[in-house]
A and B are shown apart, each in its own frame.
Chain A
């Protein structure tokens, strides 16, 4: 269970924050704001929003990579502007989208750079520093290629290495900009699970800008939803979905967010209604297949009817279909089912 305690200090706060770019001539060009934000220890927050809403700009501003246009930021209870660079580096670490060109650097050397703010002017390592580096390598699964040059790694491996570097920095606050962009699905799930775990077990505050809506909806304790209008809504993902805020933020012509499944509908079917009877995984996947084929699955009575195999006979069972002018038919797979329905629908009417 994770409930932010009202007594703990927020890891990060922003008051009346406006982000954007100063302009050499005339007034500065604000991207979005003003916002009121707080990030608490022990929570994983996903920053979601359509392209161009200002996710990266907000993240870079919070990380101190670029100055805010206006407003007040605190990190660990202290004003961000008052912290020395080294003190700030002990409070927050970042993973950016920019590609690091350091071909001769090995993975281990790169991750060791994360200890920079904790070591003396020579960069000498204590046993604790070694332990932190090792733990970061193990947690991110980068230990097996620790001695390979970074220049030889794939994009996905690089991303894990950059995360390992941020973990080695061992800061209470972690800001990540699309750390999953080059990862395959299992690695994305593993990364979000790792971040979730870090927040829970070590009480880190983690802010993650991402495009992985479905994963973010599952993993995030809270979502900061940044609309294209610059409005920012914060709350548990479920509340934002049910209130319709989510659908509104990603509103686009011909694209609908389905609050029932938490996904965007890829297909806009216009075909005949099909009554789908059954439940479990078979029903879920049959529904998807019907949608893709242009049919509209429904639970109510319809001219077409499909009965899916029950969970008990999954893998052995049969799909039953019947339609107007079609006798009940048994199909051993979804492929056969789609073929039969397709054939019936394209038949010329007598």
Chain B
């Protein structure tokens, strides 16, 4: 320790890592673009890449009406949904990991996914008993406003509960336990419902838990994109508080952070993101947990002003990529998205964590 005079010495520009981070983000944008085009091109009906590019850029109609319909009415909304869902889940996961200073936290840590599931389960229960299942049965599972509203209500209920408890709890670790317990209780209620239900009802619920990107079109997509956009906007506004929270609550408070207000904003943002995505697409596992780790490893920074856009892009790329794989190129089969993200996500996280034995995971 040199007791040097405390006068400002010659400046070293501290933003020396700027170019690298900039290149990283630009690279990610390119990857997202590529994955997007691929996702539109791949499927049971193969569409040549040049045609896809032309259609996406809006240059003239396709050779035949069928291709035009497939791209604009099916593939494009699905790819956009993948983009929005991936960004939203990744950003919500990053916020949870920082807020709780826990590398294992994710969007499900607050019980939002379980809440949405409870909402869906309640609708199906009502459907079975009151024979008003018409809305669900006729419109199909994912395309039903009833389901979306039920899932949103369930997630919102859990969010309100967690926010109310958060106002009483000073310690973030206690809050994390509260979230996990709320998730546990909600999950138990759903299990209870399953236990007393007819097999066909359970089957429908199980279908919902597989997740689906395909059912979100038109007004659904507009609503989802708006809510996720708002959530990401809130998250970006919380970048500076999130950075301060890296040091823990006491230091964050000593740095002038209104800890409770920031925490409320972060929980609100996460709830909007995870709640809306789960409501529209069903649960999509692992993206919220894995992408923050991947982003940190890829960009080599802990600064949320870089990490948040990075996680946004990487989350979108990951879900788009998983959706490409879910098409099982060369086959007519389509796998459920929730299965693919988990199958792919867990090994990737393992690889990232084990590759750097000296560093802690968060």
Contacts and interface: CB of A to CB of B under 8 A. Distances in A.
Contacts of B1: 140-141, 160, 187, 190-191, 194
A166 B162 CA distance: 33
Interface in B4-21: 4-9, 11-14
A64 B305 CA distance: 28
Contacts of B68: none
Given A85-B256, A122-B305, A141-B1, A202 B239 contact: no
Interface in B241-299: 243-244, 246-248, 250-251, 253-258, 296
Given A98-B248, A113-B247, A135-B9, A122 B240 contact: yes
Given A102-B247, A104-B301, A123 B239 contact: yes
A197 interface: yes
A128 to B, nearest CB: 8
Q: Which of A85, A92, A106, A160 has the most CB of B within 10 A?
A: A85
A30 B16 CA distance: 50
Given A102-B246, A169-B255, A190-B1, A108 B14 contact: yes
B174 to A, nearest CB: 14
Contacts of B305: 122-123
Q: Which of A93, A135, A169, A190 has the most CB of B within 10 A?
A: A135
Contact of A100 (B13, B251, B254, B359): B251
A101 B362 contact: yes
A123 B250 CA distance: 19
B361 A132 contact: no
A122 B240 CA distance: 6
Contact of A109 (B255, B257, B296, B301): B301
A63 B251 CA distance: 10
Interface in B170-191: none
Interface in A82-103: 84-90, 92-94, 96, 98, 100-103
B254 A109 contact: no
A104 B362 contact: yes
Contacts of B256: 84-90, 116-117
A140 B2 CA distance: 7
A127 interface: yes
B3 interface: yes
B290 to A, nearest CB: 16
Contact of A152 (B2, B14, B358): B358
A344 interface: no
A207 to B, nearest CB: 14
Q: Which of B1, B2, B240, B358 has the most CB of A within 10 A?
A: B1
A113 B300 CA distance: 17
B3 A105 contact: no
A116 B13 contact: no
A315 B192 CA distance: 86
Interface string A59-96: 00001110000000000000000001111111011101
A65 B14 contact: no
B16 to A, nearest CB: 8
B210 to A, nearest CB: 34
Nearest to A127: B11
Contacts of A191: 1
A190 to B, nearest CB: 4
A113 B361 contact: no
Q: Which of B253, B254, B302, B359 has the most CB of A within 10 A?
A: B254
A29 interface: no
A138 B247 contact: no
A20 interface: no
B101 interface: yes
Given A112-B14, A151-B358, A197 B6 contact: yes
Given A125-B14, A127-B11, A151-B360, A138 B243 contact: no
Contacts of B257: 85, 116
B237 interface: yes
B3 A197 contact: yes
A3 interface: no
B204 interface: no
A131 B14 contact: no
Contacts of A93: 254
A193 B9 CA distance: 20
Given A63-B254, A104-B362, A121-B240, 6 more contacts: A64-B254, A85-B256, A103-B362, A119-B240, A133-B14, A193-B3
6 contacts: A85-B257, A89-B256, A109-B302, A123-B239, A123-B240, A151-B360
